[in-house]
Amino acid sequence: SQKQAQQSILEEIQDPSCIQVNCISLASTRTQEYLVFKDPEGKLQPSPLALTQVFLMTYITQSVNLDLTDTFNCTAMTPEQRILLGADWVWAILEKPTKNPKVQIAVQVLHLPEREEAEEQATAGKPVSESIQMARTESRNKNAYERMVEFCKAIGKDCYALFLFFGRRDDKANIYGVLSNNFAAAVGKCDTIDRALLENFFKGSRCFHTPLGMMQAVFTKKTDEALTLMIKFS
């Protein structure tokens, strides 16, 4: 039965799942240290790219140290892929022994608007490669949020979009997430998927899942079932 199959899957990955959550929590804690950093002289501020890389490097280092890469794969996107697909990286839960992805979580990091504006000003006018120009041209009709939702929809209900907020307007020091395999429903209602729509998920939310709660919900979800969660990572 489906229930027994889910139980065996849960038992099979329970320990690795806890280890993966350990990697996510460590990456969140390390990133938060830089998120709250304030230079007394006001000269240093970690860029959005630097914060994303700190999270990824911490996660990948820990997952390699704990020999987790055969169970939970993490694929960082190239700059061109980030533009075309909207994702910064993709986590994949792999089946044994085939190593085919059983569940995928595409992650896009959202930085505080003031950080993004400072980054745009710093990079304005700088030359970019031909491949980056081509990727921008090809993806100009959709925003980054829509591109990632489209990417996940093309894979199916076992692919989740996770929008990871490195600080929110009302809580700039913590990391939050909105995870769903059903963002495409918003497109069906003619809603534009943008930052305002994503931030709206947090309105009235007093209860957040932990990273472990998020992984358990993903593992125990029924086939083709819609799932949407709010998570606090730090």
Lowest mean pLDDT among 12-16, 55-59, 64-68, 180-184: 12-16
Residue 7's pLDDT is 55
Angstrom distance (rounded) from CA 229 to CA 158: 15
* pLDDT class of 3 with cuts at 50, 70, 90: low
Q: How many domains is the chain built from? A: 1
Collect all residues with Cβ–Cβ distance below 8 Å to 123 and sequence separation of at least 6: none
Angstrom distance (rounded) from CA 151 to CA 104: 11
Residue 68's pLDDT is 84
Beta bridge partners of 180: 161, 228
Query: What digits encode the pLDDT tens for the residues 119-163?
Result: 887 777 788 889 988 988 888 888 999 999 999 999 988 999 999
Average the pLDDT over 195-202 and give the result: 88
Query: What digits encode the pLDDT tens for the residues 4-52?
Result: 555 554 454 455 567 788 899 999 999 999 999 988 998 888 899 999 9
Angstrom distance (rounded) from CA 178 to CA 200: 10
Selected residue with higher pLDDT from 9 and 68: 68
Average the pLDDT over 76-95 and give the result: 94
Look at residue 189 and tell me whether its pLDDT is greater than 80. Answer: no
Average the pLDDT over 94-112 and give the result: 91
Does the pTM exceed 0.75? yes
Look at residue 82 and tell me whether its pLDDT is greater than 50. Answer: yes
Angstrom distance (rounded) from CA 12 to CA 125: 51
Angstrom distance (rounded) from CA 155 to CA 209: 25
Average the pLDDT over 204-228 and give the result: 86
In sequence order, which ranges of the chain are alpha helices (DSSP H)?
Answer: 2-35, 48-65, 79-85, 113-123, 130-138, 144-155, 184-188, 195-200, 211-220
The share of the chain scoring above pLDDT 90, in percent, equals 46
Residue 69's pLDDT is 84
Average the pLDDT over 196-215 and give the result: 87
Give residue 158's domain range: 2-232
Residue 16's pLDDT is 59
